[in-house]
Amino acid sequence: MTRDPMAFTDRVTSSSARWPVEAGRYRLVISRACPWANRTAIVRRLMGLDGVISQAVVSPVLESIADDSHWVFSDYDGGVDPVLGVHALRESYLARRPGYSGGVSVPALVDVSSGQLVSNDFEALTIDMGQEWGACQRVGAPDLYPASLRDEIDSVNEAVYANLNNSVYLAGFAPNQQAYDRAVKRVFSQLDELEARLENRRYLVGHSLTEADVRLWPTLVRFDAVYHGHFKCNVRKLVEYPALWAYARDLFQTPGFGDTVDFDQIRKHYYFSHSGINPARIVAVGPGPRAWLTAHHRDELGGSPFGDGKPPGPPLDEDAVPEIG
């Protein structure tokens, strides 16, 4: 699976003339199902930008428009985003570039006043929320991309993206046995390496949360729910990796992570939308989520999630996900 290059890579920065940092100007469009979008939702929460950048959530079920599948706002009243006033995210892409015929993806940062897409660059969006929005961030927000650790963070991210984040999709959509075998081997080789790395350290890089954790975790939280069965990444489950499973629970229970996850939407999107893999569109009911709340004991390894800072407050009402019962 080769991902289409991101077509809109403008950046919102403190020095930009076209897209300056400005509270209330932008709307972040995410899917609760998408791991790339989950990253931006996490960083938005960790940085305390909830009240600065509004958030819209597309339906987990794609809609066919003009012979293509699209992210739509069907779960809002009237099937229209209440802020952007559009039914399909592609309308923001077309507002930016009339006649655009490429892919439409989330996350997407949209300029509210013009309705134009600013960026669908999921990698730059999280970096910039952490580094460029300092004037709008909450007191006690963490530094997720400290200068002294950037080389190591970038190295970890590169390996995790190539071998795990993207390779679960290479396995799931493999066109033949050989391609599937190669992808699955990369997935579990990477998981084995991460298991060894996390046996004696709480976080991937340094002693607190960084971009590396933000980029790995959304794949882990979806692993047993969809990648293990739906994408046939079934050599082992996440719960069979003692260190990784404890690490994943540690982050799930950290404010800003688990409170961005909706397992029902994750399962519904993957099992229903990928009809080529699951033509009957039967949505799996498990595994149950309660195990994510069990004790992890990772604090015994030292470190602190927010370094010298503090956790964010609870999510805004409009951003809340269903609690695990």
Domain layout of the chain by residue ranges: 26-136, 147-319
Expressed in angstroms, the distance from the first to the final Cα of the chain is 37
CATH code: domain 147-319 is 1.20.1050.10
Residue 41 binned pLDDT confidence (cut-offs 50, 70, 90): very high
Q: Tokens 């919102």 map to which residue?
A: 12
The strands making up 108-111's β-sheet, listed across from edge to edge, are: 54-57, 26-30, 108-111, 117-119
pTM (2 d.p.): 0.97
Query: Which superfamily does 26-136 belong to?
Result: Glutaredoxin (3.40.30.10)
Q: Tokens 């590169």 map to which residue?
A: 158
Mean predicted lDDT score pLDDT of the chain: 96
Q: Which two tokens stand for residue 34?
A: 């998408």
pLDDT of residue 66: 75
Summarize the confidence of residues 301-314 as an average pLDDT: 96
pLDDT digits (tens, 9 = 90+) for 68-85: 889 999 999 999 999 999
pLDDT of residue 3: 47
Q: Which residue has the higher pLDDT, 116 or 1?
A: 116
* Residues with catalytic roles: 34, 169
Three-state secondary structure string covering the chain:
CCCCCCCCECCCECCCCCCECCCCCEEEEECCCCHHHHHHHHHHHHCCCCCCCEEEECCCCCEEECCEEECECCCCHHHCCCCCCCCECHHHHHHHCCCCCCCCCCCEEEECCCCCEEECCHHHHHHHHHHCCHHHCCCCCCCCCCHHHHHHHHHHHHHHHHHHHCHHHHHHCCCCHHHHHHHHHHHHHHHHHHHHHHCCCCCCCCCCCCHHHHHHHHHHHHHHHHHCCCCCCCCCCHHHCHHHHHHHHHHHCCCCCHHHCCHHHHHHHHHHHCCCCCCCCCCCCCCCCHHHHCCCCHHHHCCCCCCCCCCCCCCCHHHCCCCCC
Residue 65 binned pLDDT confidence (cut-offs 50, 70, 90): confident
Give Cα separations from 157 to 5, 182, 210, 215, 302 (angstroms).
Answer: 18, 20, 11, 7, 23
Summarize the confidence of residues 255-266 as an average pLDDT: 98
pLDDT digits (tens, 9 = 90+) for 83-107: 999 999 999 999 999 999 899 999 9
